[in-house]
Structure 1
Amino acid sequence: MAADGVVFAEVGRDVSDMLGFRQRGVWIVVGAFLAAVWTVVGYLSWETDSWIPMLAAAVLSCSVVVIVRAHGDPLPGLPTLVALLTGPLVSALALLQTPADLAPSVLLMWIHGGPTAVYCFTAVRGRFPAVFAGVAAMAVVFGFWGQATGQTFMDGVSRMIIDAAPLTMSMLFALVLRPTASSVFLLRQQTLERVAQTSADIAADEERTQQLDILNTLARPLLKRIASGEELSDAERTECALLEAHLRDRLRAPLMSELKLDRLAYEARLRGVDVTFIDDSHLDDDPAAVALDDRVTSALAALCADVLANTESGKVFVRVATPGRSIAASVLLRDGDENVRYELDHSGDVTVFH
């Protein structure tokens, strides 16, 4: 069963999903079961004039809720321990106030039938040893109750024979269900991985096509002009330099294109400003790395727009930091002897250094 647990851990599912334990309807079944138990216990408490059977029913109710709510496969250790102790504890508490003359009635059946239901689900969740231990302990309690009420030890144990059928069925069900569930969840995970890979391939193809279209639109006219062999004019040479800088930005700092800074950078370069964009946010391959917050990207776009629009000369360096740095991005303006540095933290606040 440990192998099953490994598979389920990989796909994030367990047998309880196939049993519908994640659905709200399961609580209707649980409520009906516990309502029946408490109805019998209420009558038994009235007959025996004792509150101890209610304590036993409370223990059983808590155990049922724990088993239904527990996630993981096989069943985790603490819920397994709760299930194991349910049978002997409920039996000991309930039988303490149950005289022998109630033995043939339905009032005795809930004492071993309730824990048996818990053991059935425990078996399906892959904890056979806990089921065997719990049933054995419960049988011992019934045996001593038989002796204490003027019967034999085996007379007490025989009251539980009826539980053999559901327990056997649950174990056979588990032996069939668990391997099947393992295969189903593994196939589901493989399907999800294939779909994700296909989606990634489609997205990559679309991005490649889009970039080729952009490159074709921007570079083809100048490439044709260069291929003609005619000497380029000064304006065309300037246009080539600007295009080269623009294409370099798209490769080195794709985030700046997403922030619509291409046009502002183009206009600043026309005025003679040396603009350099660097985006290092994609260099960290850690899947746990958190993308830039929207507040940071909005603040960065506004800051760059202001700096590029109001700079007439010098150099402008815009850099998005790698994940994990104390700052999210920085903008450096150099104009002669004047150096101004802007730093953005991960909340989008800007600090200016002169």
Structure 2
Amino acid sequence: MHRAPDRPGVGTLIGLDGWLGLVLLSLLEAIVLLLATRDVGTTGGTPAMILGYVLIALAGCAVVLPSGDPLPARYTAGVAAIGPVAIFLSTRTPPDRPLTVIAAPIASGLVLGLLSVRGRAGPAWASAVAIVSVTVLVGWSAGLPSASVAGAIGPVGTVGALTVFAAIIRPTQRSLYELRVETTTVAVANAAMRARLEERDRQLARLDRAARLMLERIAAGKLLDDTDRIQCRLLEAELRDGLRAPNLAIGELAAAAREARGRGVEVLLLDDGGFAAVSPQVRDVVVSTAAWELDAVGAGSVTVRVLPAGRRIVASVLVAEPGQDRRTEIDGEGLVQTTVDVYEYG
């Protein structure tokens, strides 16, 4: 049964994966670097502040690089938790020094906005509210003016805008997904139809090559003698081989089977698909071994079987002659082993 393609998220729709995602990540990290440089240059910089911006940069990688929407839970939890921690670290400065409380929240807000686009609006909003709370507490404790602290609500605006964007574009996403499913279904149906037509043409061509002359004689109303009847039986057996064991009814093996049947030997060819898992060299060993066994039999029956894939033994040739049974097995390495059971009548 055909499996429907995975439903793409908004992040996939706007190119948050592949090389476009790398470009977006580069731009995001450049913005974070510029804001960090501005902040460090204004405040003089501290190890805690630098660590905060490093965490924001890592959160940007975690929200862009993973594939599949919504963003996996382990990345979501990390990005949401990093935001408030990074803001606290990046805004911790001694009370007697200037404090910039806008740059770091802006950088973190961009990351959270992308988190919302990746299908994780709830964690993004929770982290944005936590960032604003941390920024307000740190700002007021440092004695900054209310207007300066109020400018730190940027993450809420960014997350809100990108959440609305994702909600607007989601119907387009659904339409594209349905179109993708429909296109894939049609392509699969067309491929199956082509395969059936090609197989039909192949079988008709094979039937034409093998049975055309005999069918024309029968259609013309000509009487068939004993030789013709024997040829009809051989032809019927060959056609059955082509349907039942297409990988065996070829070349020297098909010729050997025809000759053995002409001598009165009962020949049965079976193919259960084991050739799909072995090399062409092993297939050649199976075909040549089976052909040799058929050439050596004067009476009785021969069963050539290709076993299902995954077995240690790839194929077996069972020969039942008057007075003995002979079983030949070929394994996945092409090694041939024969066992003989001899018995007496009466």
TM category (shorter chain) comes to: 0.7 to 0.9
- The 3 A distance-change label for structure 1 pair 55 and 176 is same
Alpha-carbon deviation of 1:54? 2.4
TM-score by length of 2: 0.83
Instruction: State the one-letter code of the partner of 1:58.
Output: V
The 10-residue stretch of structure 1 (94-103 or 109-118) with the greater mean CA deviation from structure 2 = 94-103
Could you say which residue in structure 2 is the equivalent of 1:352? 338
Alpha-carbon deviation of 1:348? 4.6
Is contact 2:267-2:301 (8 Å) kept? Answer: yes
Instruction: State the one-letter code of the partner of 1:121.
Output: L
Could you say which residue in structure 2 is the equivalent of 1:19? 14
Is contact 2:320-2:326 (8 Å) kept? Answer: yes
SS at match of 1:261: helix
Alpha-carbon deviation of 1:133? 0.5
- The 3 A distance-change label for structure 1 pair 10 and 157 is farther
Alpha-carbon deviation of 1:121? 1.0
SS at match of 2:320: strand
Could you say which residue in structure 1 is the equivalent of 2:277? 292
SS at match of 2:188: helix
Could you say which residue in structure 2 is the equivalent of 1:149? 142
The 10-residue stretch of structure 1 (57-66 or 311-320) with the greater mean CA deviation from structure 2 = 311-320
TM-score by length of 1: 0.81
1:259-274 aligned within 5 A: 261-274=253-266
1:57-76 CA-partner distances (Å, limit 9, x unpaired): 22122211111122222222
SS at match of 2:313: coil
Could you say which residue in structure 1 is the equivalent of 2:117? 124
Alpha-carbon deviation of 1:223? 3.4
Alpha-carbon deviation of 1:12? 5.3
Q: What is the alpha-carbon distance in structure 2 between the residues aligned to residue 197 and residue 260 of structure 1?
A: 37
1:242-271 CA-partner distances (Å, limit 9, x unpaired): 101101111221222367732332233334
The 10-residue stretch of structure 1 (8-17 or 51-60) with the greater mean CA deviation from structure 2 = 8-17
Alpha-carbon deviation of 1:39? 4.9
Q: What is the alpha-carbon distance in structure 1 between the residues aligned to residue 60 and residue 330 of structure 2?
A: 53
SS at match of 1:333: strand
SS at match of 1:215: helix
- The 3 A distance-change label for structure 1 pair 294 and 98 is farther
1:218 lines up with 2:210 in the alignment: yes
Instruction: State the one-letter code of the partner of 2:89.
Output: L
Could you say which residue in structure 1 is the equivalent of 2:305? 319
SS at match of 2:302: strand
Could you say which residue in structure 2 is the equivalent of 1:285? none
Instruction: State the one-letter code of the partner of 1:215.
Output: L
Instruction: State the one-letter code of the partner of 2:339.
Output: F
The 10-residue stretch of structure 1 (34-43 or 174-183) with the greater mean CA deviation from structure 2 = 34-43
Could you say which residue in structure 2 is the equivalent of 1:54? 50
- The 3 A distance-change label for structure 1 pair 68 and 306 is farther
Between Structure 1 and Structure 2, how many residues are aligned?
A: 336
